[in-house]
Structure 1
Amino acid sequence: MPIDIERFEEDSVTELRANGRTNAEAILSFLASSPEQAFTPKEIHEATDVARGSVGVVLSRLEDRGLVRHRGEYWAVADDEDLETTLTALATARVATDRLGPEDPDEWGPGVETDGDDQ
């Protein structure tokens, strides 16, 4: 599925993957599927096909958000009751953006009316 060049240029923020899932979604889904286990970055890379160099960066961002935890070389999903909500929200946001376009009304283009706040 092709993406527009603006979205491509923002890759460092969105961490896009060709199948439409973000690297964060892929890693978080993988870890959530085995909450009783912890994995090394290499094992996560092999299971998710997220680029080896991206795994550590994504894990750090997920840890900053309280979604994963680690000890030594091992990473696991966080003990968080809101994890399923987070995974569902990520998937819903991706589908909504694909169907409805970007969230920022300035990116919608000419001819699209907003609620009138900027008049």
Structure 2
Amino acid sequence: MPVRFDEYVEQADSLEWTPKPESNARTILSFLFEHPETGFTPSEIATATGIPEGSVGPTLGRLREFDLVRHEEPYWAIGDDDRIAAYEATLQSLATLDDQYGDEGWGTVDRREYEVDEDAVAEWRERRREAETDEE
């Protein structure tokens, strides 16, 4: 299905830092989040997560572009960005609620009410870009 490319790119840019559940990015971030003070090689991450080693490197590179991970050759660690902790805490809270209540507790709730405010995220990204430009 054809799409308006400019709108697609804008939407993709605004959502890219929030990895989809079950994705390699989400799996790697979750693993690194569990070990915030530890650096791992790509091989160690592959072994611990079950992700093919050939996929770990490119995924880490994409995560680094968004400052979600830190890298000091040859080690990778979770980034210092507050978004990571907030995102992971939200996912863990939702998983706990789902485990405890299942659909009983969420059956009548319109989950769209809890979606991310894309305009706020876009504004945050713009402020961050401006701040980085000012620093240079």
TM-score class, shorter-chain normalisation, is: 0.5 to 0.7
Aligned counterparts of 1:76 and 1:68: Cα–Cα separation in 2: 6
Partner Cα distance (1:52, 1:90) in 2? 26
Structure 1 unaligned segments of length 5 or more: list them: 1-12, 93-99, 101-119
Instruction: Identify the residue that residue 28 of structure 2 maps to in structure 1.
Output: 27
Written as runs of structure 1 = structure 2, the 5 A alignment for 1:1-119 is 21-87=22-88
Over 3 Å counting, the alpha-carbon distance change for 1:64 and 1:90 in structure 2 is farther
SS at match of 1:70: strand
Residue deviations 1:86-110, cap 9 Å, x none? Answer: 3367788xxxxxxx9xxxxxxxxxx
Q: Over aligned residues, Cα RMSD in angstroms?
A: 3.1
- Paired amino acid for 1:87: E
Q: Which one-letter code corresponds to 1:28 in the other structure? A: L
Note closer, same or farther for the CA distance 1:31–1:23 as it changes in structure 2 (3 Å cut).
Answer: same
Find the aligned partners of 1:64 and 1:90 in 2 and give their Cα distance: 22
Q: Distance in 2 between matches of 1:89 and 1:82?
A: 10
Deviates most, 38-47 or 78-87: 78-87
TM-score using structure 2 length: 0.50
The alpha-carbon deviation at position 82 of structure 1 amounts to 1.7
| Runs of at least 5 residues in structure 2 that lack an aligned partner in the other structure | 1-15, 95-110, 112-136
Q: Percent identity?
A: 43
Q: Matches of 2:80 and 2:88 in 1, distance apart?
A: 14
* Aligned residue pair count: 82
The structure with the largest helix share of the pair is: 2
| TM-score when normalising by structure 1 | 0.56
Q: Measure, in 1, the Cα distance between the counterparts of 2:71 and 2:87.
A: 19
Counterpart of 1:75 in 2: which secondary structure?
strand
